[in-house]
Homo-oligomer: A and B are copies of this chain.
Amino acid sequence: MLNIAILGLGTVGGGVAEVVEKNQAKIQKILGQEVRVKYILDIREFPGVKNLVNDINVIVNDPEVKVVCETMGGKKPAYEYSRLALEHGISVCTSNKELVDACGCELSEIAARNNCSYLFEASVGGGIPILRTLREACAHEKISRITGILNGTCNYILTKMRSGSDFQAALREAQDNGFAERNPAADVEGHDTARKIAILATLVSGKKFSYEQVHCNGITQITQQDILDAEKNHATIKLLGMFDAEKSQILVSPFFVKSDHALYNVNDVFNGILIHGNMLGDVMFYGKGAGKLPTASAVVSDVIECLKNFGKNIPNGLENLQPAEVSPITTDEKIRSL
C-alpha cells in the first residue's frame, strides 16, 4: 500500500481522488501496489468525505505518506505546506502554476536536498503531457520557439465569438458553463497564459523566466468585428503565449492564426502547444487544457513517477537556474501576426 495525501479538495483535488479510484487497477499494475488517498486536507467541511484533516502536521508527520498533491492554488498556504512536505522527504505534485512560477526554483532545490521531488505537469496544458516530454524525450533538442494556446477560458471565449457572440456574452457563457471564474481577470487579461509560457520558457532555456518578464496583452479588447475580419482572410484570432529562444523574447498576445496552421483547429477549451526543435522541426501537443479529470490525470502521472522513484530526487529542470535576460518587445500591436 502506497499512501498519498491531497491538499485542497477543490475541482482538481477531487479529480485526483477520482482518478486514483477509477484507474486503481492500472495504477496497481504499474507500481505493483495499491495507491491510497490516506488524507485530504481542507479547512472546509465536506460531509461524507473520509480522511479529511485540517492540520498539515498530521500529514507531514505520518511516515506512511509518500507524496502529497498540492491542488490548492495560490501562494498561501500552498507554499508553506509544500515546503514542509518536501523538508519531510515527501514529494509534492502540483497543478499550481502561480506557485511554480513564483517559488518553483526554491521548492525544487529543497526537494533535491531532501531526496524527494517537486513535479508540476498539471500546471501547464492541463492533461497534456508536455513538461515530461520536454524534460525527457526532447531534452536533447535545441528548442528555438514555443507557441501555445495555453488558456482554455480565453480559447472558449474566442471560439464562441466566431459564432456571433460579443466578448461580454461569450464570457458570460463561459462563466455559466463553469469554464471561467466569476473574476476572470487572470484568464482574459492573459496573466494565466503568461505564467504558463514563463514555465515553458524556463524549462527549455535553462534560465529562469518569470511571469513579470512577460509582455502581456489579453483578449478584452478583441471585438467580434476583429474576428470576422480575420475570417475573411482565412484566419482566426487566438491568444498565444510565445517564447523565442534566439531573440530571448517572451510575450502573450492575440494573434492572427491562418487556417492552414496547426493551431487553427484548436478550439473551445482545448490547448495546443507547438514547439520547434532544431532536429525535430515542429511538434504539437493538443488536449484539454483544463477541467477536473484531465488535470487530475496529469497530477496522478506525476504521483506515479514519484512513487516509482521513491527516495530519489527527479530533477525537474528548475534547479540552480540563473535569471533570464529578456529582450523587450518594442512594438504595441493589438493583434499580432505569426
Contacts and interface: CB of A to CB of B under 8 A. Distances in A.
Interface string A283-324: 111111001011011101100110000000000000000000
A27 interface: yes
Give the residue among A27, A30, A140, A281 with the most B Cβ atoms within 10 A.
Answer: A140
Given A140-B23, A265-B261, A297 B277 contact: yes
A132 B281 CA distance: 19
A262 B280 contact: no
A286 B265 contact: no
A49 interface: no
A270 B286 CA distance: 15
Which secondary structure dominates where chain A touches chain B?
mixed
A129 interface: yes
A139 B327 CA distance: 40
A197 to B, nearest CB: 19
Please tell me the size bucket of the interface on A: 35 or more
B280 A293 contact: yes
A140 B297 contact: yes
A150 to B, nearest CB: 15
A227 interface: no
A71 B284 CA distance: 25
Interface of A: 19, 22-23, 26-27, 30, 121, 127-129, 132-133, 136-142, 259-262, 264-267, 270, 277-288, 291, 293-294, 296-298, 300-301, 304-305
